[in-house]
Amino acid sequence: MIDIIIPIYNTPIDDIKRCFSSIENQPYQNYHCIVVDDGSKEEVKVFLDDYQKDHKKIEVIHTENFGVSHARNIGLMKSQSPYITFVDADDEITPNFLEEAYSLLIEKNLDMVVGGYAEKQGEKITRVRKCKDGFYLYEGEDIEKYQDKLISSKTSFDNEELGDTPTGRLYTKLYKREVFENILFNEQISISEDTLFLMDCIPNVKRIGVTSSIWYIYYQNAYSAVHQKMSDKKFQGYLTFLKEMESRIKSSSPRIQIAYQTRIEKTLKNIINDLDENQKEAIGKYSFGK
């Protein structure tokens, strides 16, 4: 059995239907969807409750609006299956994701297996993120090569095969549940919370497989949190993320210290032009990555 954890907060109903349909059409049918409604409006709640009545593989849990990390934690605590994956309600999975991912996980004796994704705007594919063609195994000391890419989001001379693999995203992956043992999402982190969560999981991972198969369709939606303007709340999310990254540097190996510093610098570069003067002043009080 594979548990599919799906957090939902006011996702348009047509997008939810598209997501659910992509799961229901999988050849691999031994799955259970844990849908966590994070305090959506009544229209979405009613739709989910009605949908659940006619679809026995879908379980809906309603909570107050505490954020996506809280919703995913509810899903993890509810999960009982030996294998887990995550899907966002405005996206979809490709037709053979569950079957292919499960087969690789078992055949290669993996703790997690990672695929690629295609990014869409409307019906047009605008970007594909994946590794170089083939399958790559990381175990023992080589785990650090994967960890470097996960943190820094960049490749080096010895892990170039990872290419543009979305290592820091929760989706496109199938996990053994042991990967999440004693680990939950930090509900105080609202920016790149999935990257931080996956970093915490690495000590529980012995074998990682990465394939060039495309397993996920990520939709560029204007309503997604990542596309919202730099509000004070969003700025505080970035600030908390940067502080969390900074706090991990000293306890890491030399290579991973550089990965953290690279990620901090990249994050600052990406947001600096969106900050107002007060936000720039606030962030200037810290010596992130220096």
> What pLDDT digit, counting tens, does each position of 155-198 carry?
999 999 999 999 999 999 999 999 999 999 999 888 899 999 99
Q: Can you give the pLDDT at residue 290?
A: 65
Same domain, 78 and 187: yes
E strand or H helix that includes residue 211? strand 207-219
Same domain, 66 and 207: yes
Same domain, 170 and 65: yes
Q: Can you give the pLDDT at residue 222?
A: 67
Looking up residue 158, the CATH number of its domain turns out to be: 3.90.550.10
105-109 long-range Cβ contacts below 8 angstroms, 24+ apart: 105/174, 105/176, 105/209, 108/137, 108/207, 108/209, 109/207
Which among 28-32, 189-193, 229-233 has the top mean pLDDT? 28-32
Same domain, 207 and 250: no
Same domain, 50 and 16: yes
Q: Note the pTM of the prediction, 2 decimals.
A: 0.94
Same domain, 164 and 259: no
Q: Can you give the pLDDT at residue 284?
A: 86
How many domains, in total, are found in the chain?
2
For residue 30, give its domain range. Answer: 2-225
